[in-house]
Amino acid sequence: MKILVTGSNGFVAKNLMVRLNELEGFETVTFSRQMPETQLAGLISDIDAVVHLAGVNRPPSPEEFVSGNTGLTQSLCLALLDCGRQVPVIFTSSTQAALNNPYGKSKLDAEQTLRRYAAQTGAPVYIYRLPNVFGKWCKPNYNSAVATFCHNIATGLPIQINDSNAALSLVYVDDVVDEFIRALTNKLHLEATEFCSVPIQYQTTVGELAQQLEAFRDSRTSLISEKVGAGLVRALYSTYMSYLSPEAFAYEVPKFGDPRGVFVEMLKTKDSGQFSFFTAHPGITRGGHYHHSKTEKFLVIKGQARFGFRHILTDETYELVTSGEQPTIVETIPGWSHDITNVGEEEMVVMLWANEIFDRDRPDTIASKV
């Protein structure tokens, strides 16, 4: 399937083309505003669909809204009519098409031009009135608060907020791309009526956006991760990370050492515990305590370890040996004292997960020999 993507230098187009080029059966042809519109006819001669993303939203003069949005769409439709085929078109309009301003009017006129093309040819036309699209590769300090805030916070620059309660409607670029691929393959998530829509949209405020992005920045110091596994926070986190410079790809975490070895906390979560690792020299025993509620998972990734357990009421004991050669999770059980001894001849390295962040005021760690 050969797809013409207009506005190929834009961030939505870049994300779309990368995804299409990952899939079998798709070939992309590009058109950008730097190219003369007379080239459209040659590009359209053998394409199977158009994803029309080209447009202007911050031109030097209002007249360029007409040429960059309405005029370009008219040229595209004329070229499509001349080719004599029913070529489907996906068009990114804007929620501002419902507003009485030069940008919105130019988008509305472009919509109407495409609807006339659909009526004349019977070709499918999918019009998306998108809210603010955010994601990797969006240009900061241009037309996106998310991109600008991500860039500034990630690079240590201040951000400006005029109204922290101002509402933001957002859609993530990966969700937009998913929807466009469904449209190209006739698998729309929603039935196309007057307008199509991306099924996953988010509502927030400017103030909440800034607080969330600042929390991502601060997590490198606190080691406490935000809930980045789903929804808007996941999408914002991925977007924020894409604005880090290569020099900021890595950061150090505190390391605590004593004659036994070292202990390093890697990551803490708000509701799912924390991750750490520690080392122990040959013959060293660590631990020797029990917990009332805290539980842990140990994974020896280097060396050989003997785990010892003792029930603090019955004095029942148990031990087992694991090594980095055969990855094995060993769990600590409330009410059982436990320790771990390096019984090998090399340094032992152990990954550790605890189900809660260590609280120095309530450590739930009571010394008790095994």
Q: Is the pLDDT of residue 80 over 60?
A: yes
Closest CA to 272 of 238, 240, 307, 224: 224
Report how far residue 317's alpha carbon sits from residue 308's, in angstroms, rounded to the nearest whole number: 7
What percent of the chain lies above the pLDDT cut of 90?
A: 88
pLDDT of residue 193: 58
146-195 residue pLDDT tens: 999 999 999 999 999 999 999 999 999 999 999 999 999 987 655 445 89
Domain chopping of the chain, boundaries? 2-130, 133-169+203-251, 255-367
Is residue 262 classed exposed, middle or buried when 0-12, 13-18 and 19+ CB atoms within 10 A define those classes?
A: middle
Categorize the per-residue pLDDT at 57 as very low, low, confident or very high, splitting at 50, 70 and 90: confident
Establish whether domains 2-130 and 255-367 are of one fold. no
Among residues 259, 334, 329, which one has the least CA distance to residue 300? 329
| Band of pLDDT at residue 247, cut at 50, 70 and 90 | very high
Per-residue pLDDT at 12 exceeds 80:
yes
Structure token digits, residue 320: 């087992």
Q: How is domain 2-130 classified at the architecture level of CATH?
A: 3-Layer(aba) Sandwich (3.40)
**Which residues are annotated as catalytic?**
103
Q: How far is CA 57 from CA 105, 107, 322, in A?
A: 12, 10, 62
CATH of 255-367, one of 3.40.50.300, 3.40.50.1100, 2.60.120.10, 3.40.50.1000: 2.60.120.10
Q: Pick 133-169+203-251's CATH classification: 3.40.50.720, 3.40.220.10, 3.40.50.300, 1.20.1250.20.
A: 3.40.50.720
Give the pLDDT confidence score for residue 257 in this predicted structure: 96
Reported as a single tens digit per residue, the pLDDT across 106-154 is 999 999 999 999 999 999 999 999 999 999 999 999 889 999 999 999 9
Mean pLDDT across the stretch 230-249?
98
The whole-model pTM stands at: 0.92
Q: pLDDT of 278-307, one tens digit each? A: 999 999 999 999 999 999 999 999 999 999
DSSP 3-state of 227:
coil
Residue 27 predicted with pLDDT over 60: yes
Place of tokens 């603010």: 132
38 versus 353: the higher-pLDDT residue is: 353
Q: State how far the alpha carbon of 159 is from the alpha carbons of 139, 140, 214, 241, in Å.
A: 15, 12, 10, 17
